[in-house]
Each structure stands twice: as C-alpha cells, then as structure tokens.
Amino acid sequence: MPLTRWLAEYAWLPDRAEPTRDVLIEATDGRLTAVTPLTVDGPPTAGVEVLADAVRLPGLTLPGLANAHSHAFHRALRGRTHDGRGDFWSWRSLMYAVAIRLDPDTYLALARAVYAEMALAGITCVGEFHYLHHGPGGTPYDDPNAMSAALVEAAAHAGIRLTLLDTAYLAGGVDGAPLAGPQRRFGDGDALRWAQRVDEFRPSDEHVRLGAAIHSVRAVPAEQLATVAGWADRNGLPMHVHLSEQPAENDACRAVHGCTPTRLLADHGVLGPHTTAVHATHPTAADVALLGDSRTRVCLCPTTERDLADGIGPVRRMADAGSPLSLGSDSHAVVDLFEEARAVEMDERLRTRRRGHFKPVELVTAATVGGHAALGWGDAGRLAVGQRADLVTVRLDSARTAGVPPVGAFFAATAADVTSVVVDGRPVVDGGRHLTVDVPTELRDAIAAVTAKEDS
C-alpha cells in the first residue's frame, strides 16, 4: 500500500489529556509512519505540497475503538425483549430461541451485518465470545469449527479485525449439571476435547487472532478451569471469562465451592494480566483485590448490564486496585462505544451520588488501547508511529456535537456521528456509510431469517 496522508482537524494523541489541533497522520502498508502536530505554537510547519494530497478529516479523529465483548447473534434480540418484566434468566431463554435457529450460513449473514454495524460505529476490532459451536442437539458440523469460520469471514466482509474468543461451555450449572436443550450446541464434552477442537482451527487471515474463554464458573467445572487457562497460557493468547454478572452466580458458587467465583478462578490459575473478567458487577472487596493484584483486566458492558438489570459494579475501585478497563457492547442492545464509555462515569455517579470519577482520557483509553490490549492486539489503539493505521473520525458539527469542545466529545457524540473509519490503512466507512455493506438492509434480512417463526 502506498503512503497515505490524512490531516485531522483534531486528533487524540497518546496520553494527552485532550485532543490536539491540526495533526498530520501518515501511513504505509497499514502502519502509522508519522503523527505530526502542525500548529504547536504558530503557523503550520508542513509544506503546502504535503498538505495538498492529504485526506481532510474534519472533526475529532480517534484511534480505533475496540469492542472487547460481543455475542454477535444477540443482535437479533434487540427490541424483542424490552417490554414487560423479567430478568437476565428470562432474557436468556429468549436468546436460546434464536441460538437454535442459526447455522453457518445464517450466522455468516447475521454476523457480517452486525460487524458492519460496528464498523459504522467506529469499532475497528471486535472480541467475539463464541460458544455456538455445534449443530442442533450438539452434533458437530463436518468441519467442527464451521461456526468459527463463519465469524472470521463475517469480520473480513465487514472490514474489521476479530479476536475469536473460543469459549468452553461444558456444564449447565456450578454443580456440574449436564448441558440440556439449546445449551447442547455449546458443548465439547470436556475441556480436553474443547482444546483439541480449537487446536484444529488456526486461521491464517491477517485480520483475525485467536483467544480462549471460559463461559463462566457456571459452565466450566472447577477441575477443568486450569485446562482451559493453561491452553491459553501455552499459546500466549488472551483469556476471557464472564464473572459475577449476577448475585445468583455468587450464591451458587458459594453453595457448591464455598467461595466466590473470583476466588475459584484465582485458585485454578485463571487470573492474570492476559485475562479479562467480563462484567465483574458483583465482586466482594476481597475479589476486587484479587483482580487488581493479579492485574486481571475488567471489561464493562454498561448498556447490556442496565438492559438486563444486572446492577452497577465498583468500577472506580477496580481500576484503582490495578485492573485495566475495556468496554464491550455484549448483547448489542446498543452498538455505541461512546455510550458505553460515558456510562462508566454516569453509572458511578448514580451509584455514589457524586460526579467526576473518570477523566475523559480514561474513558478514551478504555474504548481504544484498553480494549485492543484485552483482545491481544498490543499494536493498535494509539495514534503513534508503528501502530496499526486505524482512524475513527467523529463529526463535531452534528445536532448533538455542534458547539461541544473536542475534549467533551465522549460525553456528547453517538455512533451516528462517526463519519469516517479507516482500518489497517483501508477506508471502511466514508461519509457515514459503510463502503461494502448495506447495513440496515442486511440486518433486517438476517434477523428476519432467524426470528421469523418465533414472531408469527
């Protein structure tokens, strides 16, 4: 790829408390080769000929946003579960109704549309927490990784990077109950067979990396936790796990194992800097210390957590204890990392009845470099030389953002304000439109294909 130049009206450079004006950004072969503020004190310092061929990026340009926690097929539930009463557990039964209707073809179509929706929102990399492995009843497909392959292809079509977090889902409860009904599609039997299947899936595509996941202490028996964590460790891959999303999980874990889920994970070698605990909504004070002392990362999914009435986690305390933060849209009730980011601060305000817990740069860090690090992409998420050339531009002249100072963009912008997205140096979104996918039409059709019977 030849040298490409962009001129950002504002750009959020690494470790700066606020955006910098007039930044020349250059990239070759998908990597940033120069990031130069032009007006430090006075007139532009680059020559007229350099600026003439630069692509103008009016508004605020950010590094790529990373969506560290996704279940692509949950997007089909948006708007179908919001009325009436119910909780996480009643929502889960609706989610299973969609899961049983997916096959590699319908999943490819749905995930392609969902990942393209993410691209429109400025997401350049997604972590797919993938447990829908097998055919109906748990029968493997001829290619036992056919569903994984569909997700890899979907991300390629959508133009974003993917960390496929292949998820071990082996039991129906903390007591080790066997999988039943729709859950049977998730299971590999035991952790060794899970590892054998994943070992056979090594996609060579540039846009994908592998990771491992433990669905939760509900779904992987205690004596098999170390097998999954050890596999990730040996292969140097990130490890993710749902943790204490619900008080009921804590109660069940205490009843069976006499300890919290966090303690159980710690005792089986699951925690550490390569591990991301998703949600961590109901940790004890001792759990917060275990997570922080081990530098275990925490991925927050505030729009899902509020949609499912999960609660609000002690996020400031977890960050202060040493856990780096990342963000995920999880069930895709909303795909908007600006909303997730400001919810981290806003929820803390509601919980404490005080304002001002997180600086804007901390929220930007969670949405960008924090998420990429959690997904195993240490070379993305910062506008710095050598990093992947991901550029996400947010307009500052919409009805929502006009008059807002660039530093306040994360408190005002929505995904709809993203005008331009470049991933690894390639334009994916321009003028607010995805360049290859008709996102609304494909979402409509793909969701109709997996929900038609249930709505009729």
Q: Which of 69, 268, 279, 332 is catalytic?
A: 279
The answer to whether residue 279 is catalytic is yes
Q: From the CB of 301, what's the least distance to Zn ion, in Å?
A: 7
Query: Could you tell me if 257 and 225 are in contact, meaning their C-beta atoms sit under 8 angstroms apart?
Result: no
Q: From the CB of 331, what's the least distance to Zn ion, in Å?
A: 7
Q: From the CB of 307, what's the least distance to Zn ion, in Å?
A: 12
Whichever of 26 and 249 has its CB closer to Zn ion, that residue is 249
Whichever of 330 and 417 has its CB closer to Zn ion, that residue is 330
**Rounded to an integer, what distance in angstroms lies between the CA atom of residue 23 and that of residue 33?**
13
Q: From the CB of 453, what's the least distance to Zn ion, in Å?
A: 25
The binding track of 290-309 with respect to Zn ion, each residue x by CB under 5 A or -, is --------------------
List the beta bridge partners of residue 27: 4, 32
Interacting residues with Zn ion between 245 and 284 (CB under 5 A) = none
The CB-nearest residue to Zn ion is 330
**Rounded to an integer, what distance in angstroms lies between the CA atom of residue 110 and that of residue 447?**
7
Interacting residues with Zn ion between 322 and 341 (CB under 5 A) = 330
Q: Tell me the pairing of strands 55-62 and 4-11.
A: parallel
List, in sequence order, the alpha helices (H) in 268-355.
Answer: 285-293, 302-307, 315-321, 337-352
Helix, strand, or coil here: 238? coil
Residues 6 or more apart whose CB falls under 8 angstroms from that of 61 comprise: 6, 8, 9, 10, 11, 12, 23, 25, 383, 391, 392, 393, 394
Residues 6 or more apart whose CB falls under 8 angstroms from that of 13 comprise: 19, 20, 23, 35, 37, 383, 384
Whichever of 330 and 347 has its CB closer to Zn ion, that residue is 330
Binding footprint of Zn ion, residue count (CB under 5 A): 1
Of 182, 249, 247, 162, the residue nearest 214 (C-alpha): 249
Q: Which of 188, 307, 330, 417 is catalytic?
A: 330
Whichever of 10 and 186 has its CB closer to Zn ion, that residue is 186
Number of helices and strands in the chain (H, E) = 15, 16
What is the b/e burial string over 397-414, where b = at least 16 CB atoms within 10 angstroms of the residue's CB?
Answer: ebeebeebebbebbebbe
Q: From the CB of 98, what's the least distance to Zn ion, in Å?
A: 14
Give the side-chain half-sphere CA count within 13 A for 132: 26
Interacting residues with Zn ion between 68 and 87 (CB under 5 A) = none
376 vs 194, 257, 264, 275, 456, CA distance in Å?
21, 31, 24, 10, 42
Whichever of 159 and 283 has its CB closer to Zn ion, that residue is 283
**Rounded to an integer, what distance in angstroms lies between the CA atom of residue 390 and that of residue 124?**
7
Q: From the CB of 23, what's the least distance to Zn ion, in Å?
A: 36
Whichever of 160 and 300 has its CB closer to Zn ion, that residue is 300
Whichever of 156 and 213 has its CB closer to Zn ion, that residue is 213
The answer to whether residue 130 is catalytic is no
Q: From the CB of 299, what's the least distance to Zn ion, in Å?
A: 9
Interacting residues with Zn ion between 47 and 66 (CB under 5 A) = none
Would you tell me which residues interact with Zn ion (CB under 5 A)? 330
Residues annotated as part of the active site? 279, 330
